[in-house]
Amino acid sequence: MGRNAIFILLLWAGVARAEVPSLFQQAALVAGGSTQASNGTSASLFAGRAAGSLFASPEPNTRAHPRVGISGPVAHLLSLIAKAEAGRAGYDAVQAGAQVKPTQIPTRMTLGQIHEWIQATPGQPHAIGRYQFIPTTLRRVARERGFGPDTVFSPTVQDAMAVSLLEEAGFRAFKAGTLDRHKFMRNLARIWAGLPLPNGKSYYHGYAGNRATLTWSRFETEMQRIWPNAG
């Protein structure tokens, strides 16, 4: 086993406890913006397998492709984000600026293998998957969800982690009517570079080649279509 693999296993086991900056924190470093997002509530959309939970959380640390039911408006929103971020490549997307791609398609890789690829190819973008997770976000959200290095980067796992980011953007507050639509949209744009701000540009415009891939008008139209009665 190489030194990189050993380090990754130790990190996932909790030996290395260094705090990884959140995507919102990175946004502040890149663009000088706020580091705060309105979460609305600390309750998770993935509430485990107990009866009555909104989604059933996939089991962590498994090489199987667990299934999780995401439907309705949340599924539509995730599809909109995925279209802006990954296009036709979907769950197997790798950032175009990565000169050295993984040797396997992402959905066949474990999280440990993805981190080995990241560490072995410094100096290039590493956004990966349907929602273009950057390394810091991938590590942080996987840790929060309890996904270990042997977890396959399956569509279900990617969806689960994307829903975590919806929560960070204030999804529950938006649904409860305590966060207005435009604020929620701006929060989403701080997470996903393909989404626009009201000025039409990505929050990360020009950084690592990022740009908004749809207009603010289109973004607003789609959000109104998904949640016609939300403020």
For 55-114, how does the pLDDT look when each residue is reduced to its tens digit (9 = 90+)? 333 333 333 333 456 789 999 999 999 999 998 899 999 988 889 999 999 999 999 999
Residue given tokens 């080995």 in the structure block:
116
pLDDT confidence of residue 5: 47
Q: Which residues pair with 196 in a beta bridge?
A: 202
DSSP annotation of 178: S
* Predicted TM-score of the model (pTM): 0.70
Q: Is 133 helix (H, G, I), strand (E, B) or coil?
A: strand
Task: Give the contacts of 224 (CB within 8 A, at least 6 positions apart).
Answer: 181
Cite the DSSP H helix spans in the chain. Answer: 3-13, 23-31, 72-85, 111-120, 135-145, 155-168, 171-176, 181-191, 216-226
* pLDDT top residue among 81 and 53: 81
Binning pLDDT at 50, 70 and 90, where does residue 15 land? very low
First-residue to last-residue Cα distance in the chain? 53
Report helix, strand or coil for 46: strand
- pLDDT band at 48, cuts 50/70/90? very low
Across 212-228, average pLDDT: 94
Could you read off the pLDDT of 169-219 as tens digits, one per residue?
A: 999 999 999 999 999 999 999 999 999 999 999 998 877 677 899 999 999
| pLDDT for the residue numbered 161 | 97
CA distance 169 to 66: 25
For the chain, domain boundaries: 3-226
